[in-house]
Chains A and B, each alone.
Chain A
Amino acid sequence: NAGVTQTPKFQVLKTGQSMTLQCAQDMNHEYMSWYRQDPGMGLRLIHYSVGAGITDQGEVPNGYNVSRSTTEDFPLRLLSAAPSQTSVYFCASSFSSGTGAPNEQFFGPGTRLTVL
């Protein structure tokens, strides 16, 4: 049971380049999400998904796209990277909860992205 895995661990991009951050989980969790972590700002929600084929925006979605074609995978795409997207990105997953009591979220180890 690998839990939540993220690749790559580190990435350097030039402004304008595109890339996809990969996230996978093997716990059959319906809910998956992406956060970015910046110094002094904690974690902020980018996008989330409550199941395959269903995604929605979080607090800071601009500049990022997501899709959810399978339960296991939830990739995050940067179409045209900007220096403001330099950050550490975390993927998380949990069982779905609807609007009731939340379930524990399990976090991946993170991807450290630098945009020059």
Chain B
Amino acid sequence: AQSVTQPDIHITVSEGASLELRCNYSYGATPYLFWYVQSPGQGLQLLLKYFSGDTLVQGIKGFEAEFKRSQSSFNLRKPSVHWSDAAEYFCAFTGGGNKLTFGTGTQLKVEL
């Protein structure tokens, strides 16, 4: 079955520390991959996406993600977390078209 898994429900990091949020997918071909962020009480905002080409993609707010076909992963990273990054993060994918399948989300807490 096609699916996307976010193994970490909650993550806490100190402000200024590095961050990595994990995302694994199950799909028979190369999927189109996304990371979204949801701030409290808000809708979702697209951070970055991977369609093809360079496996390291840059997004907004200083985030980046790396597509690793051998590991079926698309982990999100940030070198130095800011308190304003506290939010819920969703990985999503599609095999084509606009119908997205979302992961269950990772709640990020930032300690000052």
Contacts and interface: CB of A to CB of B under 8 A. Distances in A.
Given A33-B98, A41-B104, A43-B102, A101 B44 contact: no
Interface stretch (B13-21, B69-77, B78-86, B89-97): B89-97
B94 A102 contact: yes
Interface in B41-97: 41-46, 49, 51, 90, 92, 94, 96-97
Interface residues of B, number: 23
Contacts of A35: 102
Given A42-B90, A102-B32, A48 B99 contact: yes
Interface of A: 4, 31, 33, 35, 40-45, 48, 58, 90, 92, 94, 96-105, 107-110
Contacts of A102: 32, 94, 96-98, 100
The secondary-structure label for the interface of chain A is loop
Given A31-B98, A99-B97, A100-B96, A42 B43 contact: no
26 contacts: A31-B98, A33-B98, A33-B99, A42-B90, A42-B103, A43-B90, A43-B92, A43-B102, A45-B100, A45-B101, A48-B98, A94-B98, A97-B96, A97-B98, A98-B97, A101-B51, A102-B32, A102-B96, A102-B98, A105-B98, A107-B43, A108-B43, A109-B41, A109-B43, A110-B41, A110-B43
